[in-house]
Amino acid sequence: MHRRTFLALSASLIASPALAAKKLPLDVISRYINGITTAKTDFTQINDDGTLATGTLYIHRPGRMRFEYDPPTQLLVMAGGQQVGIFDGKSNRKSAERYPLRRTPLNLILEKNVNLARRNMVVGHEFDGTATIVTAQDPEHPEYGRLQLKFTDGPIELRQWVVTDGQGSKTTVVLGQLQKTGALSQALFSIETEERKRGKE
């Protein structure tokens, strides 16, 4: 799997059939994202080469996210402490490869106060007949990649995202229904804690 693709925000959720058929305003989508504090869901990832991976996504806004992959995929992606850490069992199992969160599309939905209408990163806002699609790209750093988020209505839900990296490779992540949770352990989002844990194995 291309790590850059993930950081560009590698994923696209294939939306389930939507009941509503209207374009959602950016301020409505922003309020929805800001209303997410702690949540989890299953996901299916479709890589650019057609291979699949599954796992569980944990979200703790602002600033924290964890992609926990099911075996045999040896991958863990974490966002916390303003960084994104990638553990790959094939190359760097015990020490994360790190990137600044602000340089990844993940930052768009993990920042404290999301206001898509005021973000110059939003370069597209469309409706495909079943879902509202928001496309984001850093105009000053197109090499960071592009992120497409899909939202359905009735009630509003994030259903899918597609990440296109600087080389044009796409990663799609299909989300199940987000389930709000109680408190999530901070250790789930601490790259340092994960490194210490793996160092003792």
Percent of the chain with pLDDT over 90: 61
Average pLDDT of span 177-185: 91
> Which domains occur in the chain, in start order?
3-199 (2.50.20.10)
Render pLDDT for 6-36 as a digit per residue (tens, 0 to 9). Answer: 444 444 333 344 344 689 999 999 999 999 9
Residues 93-150: tens digit of each pLDDT: 899 999 999 888 788 889 999 988 877 788 899 999 999 999 988 777 777 788 899 9
Q: What is the CB-side half-sphere exposure of residue 25 using CA atoms within 13 A?
A: 5
Above pLDDT 70, what percent of the chain? Answer: 90
Confidence of residue 165 (pLDDT cuts 50, 70, 90): confident
Residue for token pair 């850490």: 85
**Closest among 79, 27, 67, 72 to 173, alpha carbons compared:** 67
pLDDT at 16: 43
